Structure 1
Amino acid sequence: MKPILFNTPMVRALLENRKTTTRRVIKPEPEFYIGDWEIVGRNPDQILTDGWGNSLKPVYQVGDILYVRETWCEFPKGRYHFKADYGTERDEEFFQAVSDVKWHPSIHMPHEATRIFLRVVSVKPERLQNTKYFEFLSEGLPYRQFERDLRTDFIVLWDGTIKDSDRDKYSWNANPWVWVIEFERIENQEAADA
């Protein structure tokens, strides 16, 4: 089981079953693409190279179980609450009773607080700007009638996750190589049995 971080809007999209894909930058950035992606899952070591003969493995492999780390708090001790639930019917009683919540970043969420589990069903490399209309929707963005609007929403979302110091390498305009990771939500017990 491996952790994966999502920001609050993307956790909401997961809970609403709108998000089934995520893109993660390939590091180090490969200089060129070698081979046909059809070999994924059978021999993931021979897909990409960094240009120096070093093969690059996907961060997550097909079949991996991921546990989602999200912004959280604990109150009282042993009872976890999640920022993605704020303003929804989930956990409404808690948010009405507590006005000043100290949120903890997702990176520090304890494993036992996990409520969302995912199974990786597909992994492929792609240039970021090759993302298509239906893929923007699978990233959890709200439906928009026109592709250009959805594309703009995705660019804002993507660039919002990139540190200023990395914009020249990983922003939308830089068009980095990314792992396109498709997943399905699974139940807690199914994750525990895996």
Structure 2
Amino acid sequence: MSNETYRRFDPWRVSPVKEDSRHQVVASHYFNVDEVTLSTPQAGTFQRYVLQGSNGDAVGVIAITDDDRIPLVEQYRIPTHRWTLEIPGGHATSPDEKTPDVAARKLREEAGYTATRLTPFCRFLDAPSFAAHHTSLFYATGLKPTDRGSLGPETPRPDVRLFTLDEAYEMVVNGTIVDAKTIIALLRLYTAPGHNLGQ
């Protein structure tokens, strides 16, 4: 039995480091990178690089068709030189594009559906050790097929595959699905009461 006093977790308690300076070293259409100089009495001065999203949160959309199938998109990812299965997702194209609008656009462009209802259900930090960037997840229902757009040079017209929740969950467990937003969305749906994130 520990004699330590129990302390409630407080994510906003006093910082153990002092930020001395910050300047942007990279600007891109998806993200920016800041070089940050910090200091502590124990360690002295040190530098870190912090990734910031350019136009707000990234999004991911887990959608359910009328026959209880989940559309997953085959994407070729350049950083890892591999194909992935992912829920539709992406970034705003301008600072004026709102997060729900990004979700609706990516569902249409990548999966080929519109939704009568888009419900936000989760927001998480992508990589808190080096990024101040969030992803917001949406649950889409009332799907209707629509025309898809051309996405980009990596995967101009990715294939869309439909899976039951049990099939998708199995692919998470066996390591076929490795994309973090997709894993989080599928596990949240799998553990939701009655498999309904809109409750």
Give TM-score, length-normalised by structure 2.
0.23
The one of the two structures with greater contact order (alpha-carbon pairs below 8 A, sep at least 6) is: 1
Q: Which has the higher strand share?
A: 2
TM-score (norm 1): 0.24
Query: More helix per residue: 1 or 2?
Result: 1
